[in-house]
Structure 1
Amino acid sequence: MTQTTRTGTTRTETAIADHGLIGDLQTAALVTTDGSVDWFCCPRFDSPSVFGALLDDAEGGHFRIRPAGVEYTTKQMYLPDTAVLVTRFFTESGVGQVQDFMPPAGSTATDRHRLVRMIQCVRGRMSFEIDVAPRFDYGRHPHRAELSADGVVFSADGASLTLHVVREPGDEQRARVQVEDQDVHATLDLVAGEVRGVVLESSADGPPRAVRVAEITDLLDGTMAFWRSWLAGSTYTGRWREAVQRSAITLKLMTYAPTGGIVAAPTAALPEQVGGERNWDYRYTWVRDASFSVHALLRLGLVEEAAGFLVWLGDRIRERIGSDSGPMNIMYRIDGSSDLKEDSLEHWSGYRGSAPVRIGNGAAEQLQLDVYGEAMDSLYAAARAGLPLPARGWSAIRSVLDWLVDNWDQPEEGIWETRGGRQSFTYGRVMCWVAFDRGIRMSVEHGRPAPLERWTAARDAVYTQVMEQGFHESRQAFVQHYGTDVLDAALLRMPTVGFVDGRDPLWRSTLAAMDEELVTDSLVYRYDPDASPDGLRGSEGTFSLCSYAYVDALTRAGRVDDARSAFEKMLTYGNHVGLFSEEIALTGEQIGNFPQAFTHLALIDAAVTLDAALDNHGPVPGLR
């Protein structure tokens, strides 16, 4: 997919959607449609940024490659079935391109990462300008640049980045390089068919070296082969395959290979409302988001990520057995640690002035009971997919459910991490029902010992309570929490998880109420913040996870034509390479952290469910 994005030689403020994502399964970078890396954290997703122009164009740092001194237009695409991003430039004198990729770093944690930028003149001739302006530790540490014949070493406070130049013998006069204020500026002249480039390496084991074109070509071929081999494991052959596969690749790009943790997004502090304060750091592993992601990938037949995440999840549970605050936090760093102290970068202006720029996340220790249901649902799905259920794993599951039996009936913060006080959230109760239900199923289907009478009594008590207190008679709808009449789009998942049949009159009336209040041309708001104060100023856009969950709910309610229309409309809000952020603003602009695992996993779920319904000419059952 391609899209013309801008003309001119001066950098304009870049929209959130004007990016593609590359990564090596340990960290990731965002590349703008005019060839600038303006977000890159190293050596991990949750490490401090090196390039952060996304959040402060003046002070954040960037790594830019573009035509020098002429007007140009650009288009951007992925090479098919890969995470190799191509940015093409069109000028009066020729066509050029930059192919950006990161060779997979493997499953062992390392500080060594390579960002390859392969520069090519496709037609005519082109002069490229290259600007490398790192800002280590979110721009809090000044750096030094040491220039040599074969590249540059940038260093600050013990960290270093090495820029290797791609060149061939006789290239000495082709590039012109200068250092200004410890940043590097260069120009490179190419004619049709010529390929050069640069390789940015973290923690290199030697000085800059001349890299030959054949070497980066081999790296490109190996990276493409990796992605195509991985994607070949998908069993999905249905409709919207391109969107589904791009979403699968995006989820894979957000997986930290050494531990199996999946980040909610590779970015921090992108606003839910431009100029507002809802600016959160999503570079961590939420149990909920990762569980959803695993479930979505399992539906495509991709089991490797599920196996890795289940090991990660089991380790987290065993670490907290006996804890008074429960067997799981709601989120962790990707290595499983729980230090997510929230802070603000006061020296950064934020995306389009959206402050504060938050790093860390103060919601880490909130009580959100739904995470237990999502975790158990993913464990059950993995077992159904044929993954083993080891004895230590079952012991961890029992400890979770035994704790939940005694703790499900209490106020909590809820799925949306509101900061307006604890409530008895209906969605949280529904997911507690899911936790007990899946535990019971696993015990029976796999012959595992369990206090089934106790779990069954708890499951039935949750169900009864939700039906008696979670359904508002005058609104004829399930509501956000007990004692309110506020609707909540999280409840769109009730038929998905099998709590209620999608054709049940109680559910159809709930869906009708949401149609009237939360849905706008297929886009869905999470809830009405004016009716349900969440402790924060400002508003937000429609929530893309909810929009795809709406498609799933429509399908299960038998409204298949409506579901297909809503799905097709939602696809039009994706960016030029099929990526989605967290939310859609009133103008159709993408807002919130980008790309968002929640959105892409929900796209996969909606597509699989709707495709099956279209093939079967009717709704699909609730338990996936």
Structure 2
Amino acid sequence: MDGYPPIADHGLVGDLQTAALISTEGVLDWWCTPRFDSPSIFAALLDRERGGECRLSVDDPNATVRQIYLPDTAILVTRFMTPDGVGEVIDFMPVDDPHTAGDRHTVVRAARVVRGSLRFTLSCRPRFDYGRAPHTLELEGDTAVFRGPGTDLHVQAAAPIELGRDDAAGDHADLVAVFTLEAGQTAGITLTSCDADGAAPAAFTAEAARAAFEATRDFWHDWIKRCRYRGRWQQMVHRSAITLKLLTYAPTGAPIAAATMGLPEQVGGERNWDYRYTWIRDASLSVRALVDLGFTEEADAYRRWLGDRLRDGGAPSGEPLQIMYRVDGDPHLGEEVLDHLEGYRGSAPVRVGNGAADQLQLDIYGEAAYALAQAAGPAELPGYRGWHALAGLLDWLSDHWDRPDEGIWETRGGRQDFTYSRLMCWVAFDRGIRIAQRSSRPADLPRWTAARDAILVQVMERGWSEKRQAFVQHYDTDVLDASLLLMPLVGFLSPKDPDWLSTLDAMDQELVSDSLVYRYNPAASPDGLRGSEGTFNLCSFLYVDALARAGRLDPARYAFDKMLTYANHVGLFAEEIGPSGEQLGNFPQAFTHLALISAAIALDEALDQDEAR
């Protein structure tokens, strides 16, 4: 199980349809193509022997390594420093028009020396279909083609790299090369995936690589210029915004939850899920962050995707919406275990697909309406038919909101009357009423209003624990739940309401550890899974947001600044923080980065108001 880099020791590159992780060792150890949710070509992050990788690094185990992004871009630079010289490996994916690129995607890996002389090693060991499928290798000069099931990987090298064939792996022929560069010299390779019957990519030349680099740099610079955030944490907010963009599938506008699958919430544990899909909850909550930053085109694109899901006529379960979909809107996400992969540092099972897609989680209707209500114009959904679909959903929800469900955390311990689910059903009706009134749309307002008010009364009476003096996870427990940190953000309670402040105090005592926040206590509220987990980064940032809105500015700022120290070396966050400060879970996670943005904005506003006073 040795040889696995820490999860945090990676940067992310992508082309808005797929993404790759590159470790600080210069190893590309995760890439699924042609889409985020496609089978992997490189997956050494889940099995160092069987997963496949592409290594491009300096041939010196004692080299000092640093990794940075070219400012305000998704171009990753891995620097190797030795007594003999300083070199860099530059990784990026050109961003092509998603409507014309088809299934062709390219990672450019360029090596250069800026001082002295360095020897580099290259090895390219693809393993198609999560390492399950064999491949053939055709090598001719400075070009090679790996042929897998339905997918080809074209490798092109630039002098002085001389590609060699390595048959040591038996059934899997690989590529290797060793080359030396002097100061000022550059060499590199391109990895281009395409359909098996697709045409070979254009010849790889220094001029073409330079043009692709400049176009990619200019794309990201032009995009981030649209960001209107001017607060105290601009660098971190910009990096989070770029990360959210990288995790969005441009052809449909659907954001995924994370770039990876199978990375554990506890090393050696079983909480290893596939996050390469679009959760209604995560994506809908990202809309506010995007709108607040000025990225209305991305927010509108997701709303159109969401409108299509509403108009599609419901999920296979009979609900109007499913909790998650593939990026193209396909609701079928059957879960299976990849028994042949050992998992990150032995964390098995490795799951592909996600069985939680079939769960009942009533909160998604609130998050969907919340996203639609963030629209800047009068029409939250395109045309009358879009509104008709949303109104039909709320009519249906009027008769179906009062049911036990599995809750936001996708526990597998049975259905309960989760307080958060009721809270977000309240949001669904509240925002639907606002949209109807603001846009003069036909609606059964008396029915929606009655449902909204009934939910509020129920939550206040049954979701409140006199014993804990706090709102609790569900109606039959005294366990606390950090999802309720959203209560003031969505307007259910004032951020300074006595009941809310009492709940915040209770969370401080039970869920908060050195400013890091656990989702809930699984020992007190069994979730049907073995093992434990770390603190949840989303909740830690929601905690900052809640503190800021409550006027508790000193602890809010301290907690926020401490959370930023847990970011990795290039500003990325996974899902959780472990007991030793290590990042755990799928990486990078969109939920964490959208919560960072929201917390920064809320804290900026509160600090500005305090300074003005």
Secondary structure of 2:238's counterpart equals helix
Task: Tell me what 2:111 maps to.
Answer: 119
Kindly provide the CA deviation profile for residues 165-216 of structure 1, in whole angstroms up to 9, marking residues without a partner as x: 124xxx5xx6363332401010121111111110111127444765221211
Distance in 2 (alpha carbons) for counterparts of 1:483 and 1:398:
32
Q: Using the TM superposition, name which of 66-75 and 282-291 deviates more.
A: 66-75
1:238 to 231, 239, 251: 231
Correspondence 1:380-391 to 2 at 5 A: 380-383=373-376, 390-391=383-384
CA contact (8 A) 1:22 1:83 kept: yes
Give the conservation status (yes or no) of the 8 Å contact 1:350–1:357: yes
Q: Is contact 1:412-1:424 (8 Å) kept?
A: yes
* C-alpha deviation, 1:105, in angstroms: 3.2
2:465 matched residue in structure 1: 472
Cα deviation code 1:480-504 (max 9, x no counterpart): 0002100000000000100001111
For 2:143, which of 146, 151, 165 is the aligned residue? 151
Alignment of 1:453 onto 2:446:
yes
Give 1:332-347 correspondences, 5 Å limit: 332-347=325-340
Q: 1:404 to 1:186 in 2, by over 3 A?
A: same
Conserved 8 A contact 2:47-2:342: yes
1:269, 1:358 within 8 Å by CA — same for their partners in 2?
A: yes
For the residue of structure 2 that corresponds to 1:56, the secondary structure is coil
Residue-by-residue CA offset, 1:104-162 (whole Å, 9 max, x unaligned)? 13232721001001111111111111000000000101111111112110012232100
Change (3 A) 1:209 1:447: closer
Q: CA deviation at 1:570?
A: 0.4
Given the alignment of the two structures, is residue 102 of structure 1 paired with residue 89 of structure 2, yes or no? no
Moved more, 150-159 or 232-241: 150-159
Please state how far the C-alpha of 1:239 moved relative to its aligned partner.
1.0
Counterpart of 1:6?
none
**Cα contact 1:165–1:210 (8 A) shared by 2:** no
Contact 1:152 1:208 in 2 (8 A): no
Q: How does 1:41-190 map to 2 (within 5 A)?
A: 41-69=32-60, 71-108=62-99, 110-167=102-159, 171=160, 175=162, 177-180=164-167, 181=169, 182-190=173-181
Quote the residue 2:19 is aligned against. Answer: 28
Match of 2:295 in 1: 302
The range that moved more, 553-562 or 574-583, is: 553-562
Any idea what the Cα deviations from partners look like across 1:332-382, whole Å, max 9, x if unmatched?
A: 011100110000110110001000000000000111011111111111012
8 A contact 2:9–2:24 mirrored in 1: yes
2:465 touches 2:472 (CA, 8 Å); kept in 1? yes
Other structure's SS at 1:141 match: coil
Contact in 1 for aligned 2:249/2:255 (Cα 8 Å)? yes
Q: Secondary structure, in 3 states, of the residue corresponding to 1:175? A: coil
Counterpart CA distance in 1 for 2:316 and 2:146 is 45
- Residues 298-321 of structure 1, C-alpha deviations (whole Å, 9 max, x = no match): 110111111111111111111125
Q: Secondary structure at the match of 1:249?
A: helix
- Quickly say closer, same or farther: Cα 1:324–1:574, change in 2 above 3 A: closer
Runs of 5+ unmatched residues, structure 1: 1-10
In the alignment, which residue of structure 2 is the partner of 1:404? Answer: 397
Kindly provide the CA deviation profile for residues 425-461 of structure 1, in whole angstroms up to 9, marking residues without a partner as x. Answer: 0000000011100010011111111111110000000
For structure 2, the residue ranges without an aligned partner over 5 or more in a row are none
Q: Structure 2 vs 1, CA of residues 321 and 588 (structure 1 numbering), >3 Å: closer, same or farther?
A: closer
Q: Deviations over 1:235-284 (max 9, x none)?
A: 11111010001000000000001111110001001001110000000000
Equivalences for 1:274-289 in 2 at 5 Å? 274-289=267-282
Q: Quick one: distance in 2 between partners of 1:384 and 1:429?
A: 28
Q: How much does 1:70 deviate?
A: 5.2
1:17 paired residue among 8, 14, 39? 8
Distance 2:253 2:213 in 1: 25
Selected match of 1:272 from 248, 265, 270: 265
Of residues 435, 439, 461, the one that matches 1:442 is 435
Question: Contact 1:176–1:188 (CA<8 Å) still a contact in 2?
Answer: no
Displacement of 1:164: 1.1
TM-score of the two chains, using structure 2 as the length reference: 0.96
Aligned residue for 2:328, secondary structure, equals coil
Contact (CA 8 Å) 2:141, 2:163: kept in 1 or not?
no
Aligned CA RMSD, in angstroms, stands at: 1.7
Sort the Cα spacing of 1:91 and 1:378 in 2 relative to 1 into closer, same or farther, 3 A.
same
Q: What is the aligned partner in structure 1 of residue 30 from structure 2?
A: 39
Structure 1 Cα separation of the partners of residues 581 and 56 of structure 2: 29
Q: Secondary structure at the match of 2:103?
A: coil
1:127 aligned partner, one-letter code: R
Aligned residues: 605
Query: Which of 582, 594, 617 is matched with 2:610 structurally?
Result: 617
Q: Say whether the 8 Å CA contact 2:142–2:163 is kept in structure 1.
A: no
Describe the shift of the 1:539–1:619 C-alpha distance in structure 2 as closer, same or farther (beyond 3 A).
farther
Answering whether residue 573 of structure 2 is matched by residue 575 of structure 1, we say: no
Q: 1:459 to 1:383 in 2, by over 3 A?
A: farther
5 Å-filtered alignment, 1:204-219, equals: 205-207=198-200, 210-219=203-212
1:499 to 465, 483, 492: 492
CA distance in 1, matches of 2:390, 2:376: 13
Mapped to 2, the partners of 1:384 and 1:525 lie a distance apart of 38
What letter corresponds to residue 178 of structure 1 in structure 2?
R
> Is the 8 Å Cα contact of residues 419 and 463 (structure 2) preserved in structure 1?
yes
1:602 paired with 2:595, answer yes
Q: Residues 385 and 533 of structure 1: is their aligned pair in 2 closer, same or farther, counting only changes over 3 Å?
A: farther
Compare 476-485 and 102-111 and name the one that shifted more: 102-111
- State the distance in 2 between where 1:547 and 1:213 align: 46
From the superposition, tell whether residues 382 and 208 of structure 1 become closer, same or farther in structure 2 (CA, over 3 Å): closer
Q: How many percent of aligned residue pairs carry the same amino acid? A: 59
Cα contact 1:81–1:227 (8 A) shared by 2 = yes
CA distance in structure 2 between the aligned counterparts of 1:20 and 1:327, rounded to whole angstroms? 38
Q: Which amino acid aligns with 2:104?
A: R
Measure the CA separation in 2 of the matches of 1:118 and 1:304: 32
CA distance in 1, matches of 2:368, 2:437: 18
Whether the 8 Å CA contact 1:234–1:300 is kept in 2: the answer is: yes
Query: Where do 1:346-425 residues align within 5 Å?
Result: 346-383=339-376, 390-425=383-418
- 1:325 deviation in Å? 2.4
CA distance in 2: counterparts of 1:63 and 1:69, whole angstroms: 17
**Residues 558, 619 of structure 1: 8 Å contact kept:** no
Tell me the alpha carbon deviations over residues 409-440 of structure 1, each in whole angstroms, 9 at most, x when there is no partner: 00000000000000110000000011100010
Say which is worse superposed, 477-486 or 175-184, in terms of deviation. 175-184
